[in-house]
Amino acid sequence: MRFQNRTHAGQLLAAQLTVYAKQSGVRVLALPRGGVPVAFEIAQALHAPLDVWVVRKIGAPEIPEFALGAIAPGGIGRAAIELIDEASVLHTRTTPEQLRGILDRERAELERREQAYRRNRLPIEVAGCTVILVDDGLATGSTMRAAIAALRQRNPARIVIAVPVAASSVCQRLSQQADQVVCLFMPAWLDSVGQWYDDFSQTTDSEVCELLRQAAGTGASQAN
């Protein structure tokens, strides 16, 4: 089975998360950009607040799609969390100078996206809450691992990973870090997330902001 688009994937995924519907203390956080349309459908179905959790992949210099790790916000007054896979750095022969340059660029982009999406809004409170962390699919899982590590610093009661598709080995690793992993399809090997979608066109910053605005308009971004 393939997903028509991210909206369709989100609707199917929401049907597997109904146990969390209308529960006090449930929050839905999306990894932008692609995770936002998926998470929007989940938040609407569960009547839960929606927010973004900005994480950036650290791509190799010559092969940007190959992940060396990821960077995530550390929280107010804290440095960003950087997870680097040293084996991948060695494999791609990335020099320390190259890695520093990539990290500098990604820190700047992380800050830009935080400002663009939030527009002076503070992040929703997640301490003591069940947080459903959503993306449109996982190839290596490095970005999601960074997201979980950063989120743990905010003291949620429970972290649930929800994705339409991910490699089975990735789901297994994430289950050791998160409290629950909900994934519709877990192939043994995943070349790219896009191969599971009929329409995998890039989600834009304006689309992210519009979905967050719609969620706020329906009350989904207000703590219940």
Q: Please give the pLDDT value at position 221.
A: 47
Q: Give the residue-averaged pLDDT of 212-220.
A: 79
* Listed range (64-78, 97-111, 117-131) with the worst mean pLDDT: 64-78
Which segment, 62-66, 87-91, 115-119, is predicted with the most confidence on average?
A: 87-91
- The pairs formed by 18-22 with CB atoms below 8 angstroms and a separation of 24 or more are 18/45, 18/46, 20/46, 20/48, 20/130, 20/132, 20/160, 21/45, 21/46, 21/47, 22/46, 22/47, 22/224
Q: Give the residue-averaged pLDDT of 1-24.
A: 95
Q: Please give the pLDDT value at position 77.
A: 60
Q: Please give the pLDDT value at position 78.
A: 66
Given a cut of 60, whether residue 222 has pLDDT beyond it is: no
SS (H, E, C) the chain: CCECCHHHHHHHHHCCCHHHCCCCCEEEEECCCCHHHHHHHHHHHHCCCEEECCCEEEECCCCCCCEEEEEECCCCCCCCEEEECHHHHHHCCCCHHHHHHHHHHHHHHHHHHHHHHHCCCCCCCCCCCEEEEECCCECCCHHHHHHHHHHHCCCCCEEEEEEEEECHHHHHHHHCCCCEEEEEECCCCCCCHHHHECCCCCCCHHHHHHHHHHHHHCCCCCCC
Given a cut of 80, whether residue 200 has pLDDT beyond it is: yes
pLDDT digits (tens, 9 = 90+) for 118-138: 777 778 899 999 999 999 999
Given a cut of 60, whether residue 218 has pLDDT beyond it is: yes
pTM for this one? Answer: 0.85
Domains observed in the chain: 6-54+121-217 (3.40.50.2020)
